[in-house]
């Protein structure tokens, strides 16, 4: 059974810092890895999707990397801003499943960026 | 620009009552799914559908029913609510499944069972 772990569980940083969020998964037979953002009381917003054949994806100040063989992904946030404060979740489709597989989520990292 | 719409946003039920959580998407997505989010447990898949008329069970399907009569709608039914079903419920959709596509989520329904 696929298990997804996110470290740290919570992170508090001053504005302007560069930071790294970590995600690990137990079964490397994945189709992709997805990073989401969740604001309090809201649903999840997709940030980045890295296909299993890719090593990196970038969107603005966000950069996600994927090392399938070691079962790890990192989300790098450059020049953090108070508006980045949210819970960040990673998720992978069911290992060995079809394109309609089931997403397994990590527990999330709660990020707080202080002005 | 509606995306995925969930209703109601909040609901309080008594044990044993039934209700339907509504989910609608206007993006012509084939794949739709329901998750529940609980503290310390993360998001867990309840049921999913790969198209109209096709549904399947997820990780925690007991106590919930679904049907998919149209591409747009994917309602989740609680037949006899139990306190263990107190949770935040999210509906998600994508053009194809999560093996290919990022998921689009609604804002959730916060459900309390007394």
A87 pLDDT more than 70: yes
**Which pLDDT belongs to residue A100?**
53
Cβ contact B99:A32 at 8 Å: yes
Q: What is the pLDDT of residue A99?
A: 45
Residue among A69, A38, A36 at smallest CA distance from A52:
A69
Q: How far apart are CA A72 and CA A11, in angstroms?
A: 19
Partner-chain contact B99 A98, CB within 8 Å: yes
* Dihedral angle sign, alpha carbons of residues A27, A28, A29, A32: positive
Bond before A107 cis per omega within 30 degrees: no
Q: Which whole number is the average pLDDT over A22-40?
A: 92
pLDDT tier at A1 (50, 70, 90 boundaries)?
A: confident
**Three-class DSSP labels, B6-38:** EECCEEEECCCCCEEEEEEECCCCCEEEEEEEE
Condensed to tens digits (0 to 9), the pLDDT of residues A50-76 reads: 998 899 999 999 999 999 999 999 999
Task: Please state, rounded to an integer, the average pLDDT across all residues of chain A.
Answer: 91
Find chain B residues with C-beta within 8 A of A46's C-beta.
102-104
**Cβ distance of A93 and B98 shorter than 8 Å:** yes
Which residues of chain B have a pLDDT value below 70?
Answer: 1
CA-to-CA distance for A66 and A46, rounded, in angstroms? 16
């Amino acid at each position: 059974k696929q298990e997804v772990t996110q470290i740290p569980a919570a992170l508090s940083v001053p504005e302007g810092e560069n930071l790294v969020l970590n995600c690990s998964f137990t079964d490397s037979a994945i189709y992709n890895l997805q990073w989401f953002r969740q604001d309090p009381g809201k649903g999840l917003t997709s940030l980045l999707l890295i296909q299993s054949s890719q090593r990196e994806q970038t969107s603005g100040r966000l950069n996600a990397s994927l090392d399938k063989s070691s079962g790890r992904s990192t989300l790098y946030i450059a020049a953090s801003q108070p508006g980045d404060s949210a819970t960040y979740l990673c998720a992978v489709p069911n290992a060995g499943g079809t394109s309609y597989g089931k997403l397994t989520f990590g527990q999330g990292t709660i990020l707080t960026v202080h002005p | 620009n509606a995306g995925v719409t969930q209703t109601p946003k909040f609901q309080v039920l008594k044990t044993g009552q039934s209700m339907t959580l509504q989910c609608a998407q206007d993006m012509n997505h084939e794949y739709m799914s329901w998750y529940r989010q609980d503290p310390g447990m993360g998001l867990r898949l309840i049921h999913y559908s790969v198209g109209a008329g096709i549904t399947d069970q997820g990780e925690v399907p007991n106590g919930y029913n679904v049907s998919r009569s149209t591409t747009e709608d994917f309602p989740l039914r609680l037949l006899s609510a139990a306190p263990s079903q107190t949770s935040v419920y999210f509906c998600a959709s994508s053009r194809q499944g999560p093996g290919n596509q990022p998921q689009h989520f609604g804002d959730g329904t916060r459900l309390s069972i007394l």
